[in-house]
Structure 1
Amino acid sequence: MILKDKVVIITGVGPGMGQAMARLAAQEGAKVVLGARKQAFLDGVVADIRAAGGEAIAKSTDVSIRAECDALVAAGLEAFGRIDGLINSAYMGGENAQFDDGDIEAWGQVIDVAALGAARMAQAVLEPMKAVGGGAIVNVATMQSLKPLPGGSISYAVAKGAMTTLTRQIAADVGKYNIRVNSTRMGWLWGEPVQNAVKQIVSYTGQTEEEYIGSVAARIPLGVIPPEEECARTVLMLVSDYTKMVTGAVLDVNGGEWMAP
């Protein structure tokens, strides 16, 4: 178990990769502290983890509010006595529009959650990580910050692009405390959110789901839309001691669809 006895905070625990990371982290031996806005959903994930023999707590958290970030960290310390890892996965989707008619004034809220929320959480865990001699932070970003998606959310791409820049800046500052900071740039994630999106897309295109999924998979060298569980494992690897000498890195996790230079 690559996370045995580690205490890991995960934000943005929703029906997609967030819940997959939480369940897998517990299976890998971590005590998990879950944060997101919907307490009822969090409680369901915690119940599943505990039923499987794992340890978990959850607290409704809005990462755009510093006090709530601090409260999530405090809850983890109270329950488990230490903090070893942080996965910043909270996000706000933003609008889907072309730039020429996009609502630029609304971008701030998306950036506040995805980029500044990650910074707030990272700052909130610094002292607990220093107290145990180090830790690992992973910021979950998106391939869209490098590969524009026509009609996609520009504010989401901008916010996640800022998150990868933030990763390197924090990594340079906190390495002296043995705290590592890395980022993953995710592509397509095959799970409930994408499955629902595909249903909506094909209702407009007239394609079957199989045709559309096949067209997406054909652009990916590995030939499949990456399953969210496999992508979650990659994120967890960066929290583990297997990557002790990796910091300030941005890892593309997309089956090879986009290969950054």
Structure 2
Amino acid sequence: MDLGLQNKTVLVTGGSKGIGKAIALAFAEEGCNIIICARGEQELQESAVEIEQLGGEVLAIRADLTVQSDVEHLVSSAIDRYKTIDVLVNNAGIASGFDDFETLDIDAWKNIFDVNVFGTVRVTKAVIPYMKKAGFGRIINISSESGIQPDAFMPHYNATKAALINFTKSLSKAYASQGILVNTVSPAFIMTPMLEELLKDNAKKLNISYEEAIQQFLKENRPHVEVKRPGTVEEVAASVVYLASNKASFINGVNLRVDGGSVASI
């Protein structure tokens, strides 16, 4: 299927590992120009090599999205190289563990909002003018099942993901008439390095094996994952590429749940 993405320029934040890396690789396979950013230089360069091995054109830039000057450098470097940014995937985000409300201080709340929400706002604000000038753009924000169906733990993380869904809907109404479509993808229980780390930490706390921690988490916290397994980063990436494509030109403001059925509501 021709998705019409050949030679499009795609910026993926948090593109050095996990879901972000899978998204960058999937766009590279479609013949796109790729810009990836992350805070860790080594993983960033390693991912850039993988993209190049697929034949993709790639620009890898170390950037901390909580720092405005880093965001400005990221976007200006992309524009200098490719002249425009057709697709923005706001994937960069953090989670701090299976924290309960009472153990979280206000600094933990501020930090996670600065990365997960304000980082997305900073990059989007920097990219939007170029999309408006081109009369074309696709913005896909990576949220989570936790933004719709929050757990009892990690309330600060859950709140950031809910904010992204709301932010997406607002922008989808503001910019559609200018050719810019904005959508959300909300994964659930995807086996990323971040989730793997959280589960290993939980296994250690509970004195159980890693595999037991996975099954316990599924049973207790994701009982409606009807496929009875974690999802893959490639499954998330495929949905993002589709939303960026010409095949999704009448989809705007949606929250596409890639969750194996985990969200129980309609």
When the two structures are superposed, what TM-score results if normalisation uses the length of structure 1? 0.91
Over aligned residue pairs, what C-alpha RMSD do you find?
Answer: 2.0
Aligned residue runs from structure 1 range 24-39, under 5 A: 24-39=26-41
**In structure 1, which of residues 37, 41, 44 is the aligned counterpart of residue 43 of structure 2?**
41
Aligned to 1:62, the other structure's residue is in SS state coil
The equivalent residue for 1:221 is: 226
- In 2, Cα distance between the equivalents of 1:242 and 1:175? 16
Structure 2 Cα separation of the partners of residues 99 and 193 of structure 1: 20
The verdict on how the C-alpha distance between 1:100 and 1:215 changes in structure 2, with shifts beyond 3 A counting, is closer
Cα pair 1:85 1:137 within 8 Å, conserved? yes
Equivalent residues of 2:36, 2:61 under 8 A apart = yes
Q: Specify the code of the residue in structure 2 equivalent to 1:24.
A: A
Aligned to 2:88: 86
Provide the C-alpha distance between the structure 1 equivalents of 2:263 and 2:91, rounded to a whole number of angstroms.
21
Cα drift, residue 86 of structure 1? 0.2
Residues 1:27 and 1:110: Cα distance change in structure 2 (over 3 Å): same
3-state SS of 1:92 partner? coil
Distance 2:97 2:233 in 1: 23
Counterpart of 1:160, as a letter, is: K
Any gaps of 5 or more consecutive residues in structure 2? Answer: none
Post-superposition offset of 1:214: 4.1
2:242 is aligned, of 215, 233, 237, to 237
Identity %: 26
Match of 1:252 among 257, 260, 265: 257
Partner of 2:163: 162
Match of residue 100 from structure 2: 98
- 166-175 or 212-221, larger mean C-alpha shift: 212-221
Structure 1 residues 62-211: aligned runs within 5 Å: 62-94=64-96, 96-150=98-152, 152-211=153-212
Q: What is the CA–CA distance in structure 2 between the aligned matches of 1:110 and 1:217, rounded to whole Å?
A: 25
Alignment partner of 2:230: what SS?
coil
Which stretch shows the higher mean deviation, 104-113 or 209-218?
209-218
Q: State the Cα deviation string for residues 21-61 of structure 1 (Å, max 9, x = none).
A: 11111112111101111122111111111122111111111
The CA distance in 2 between the partners of 1:162 and 1:103, in whole Å, is: 20
Whole-angstrom distance in 2 between the partners of 1:92 and 1:209: 21
Task: Quickly say closer, same or farther: Cα 1:82–1:196, change in 2 above 3 A.
Answer: same
Q: Tell me, which stretches of 5 or more residues in structure 1 are unaligned?
A: none
The ranges of structure 1 where at least 4 consecutive aligned residues each deviate by more than 6 angstroms after the TM superposition are none
Shift of 1:94: 3.8
Alpha-carbon separation, structure 1, partners of 2:193 and 2:120: 24
The alpha-carbon deviation at position 158 of structure 1 amounts to 0.9
Deviation at 1:168, TM superposition (A): 0.9
**CA pair 5-259 structure 1, distance change in 2 beyond 3 A:** farther
Q: Give the drift of 1:20.
A: 1.1
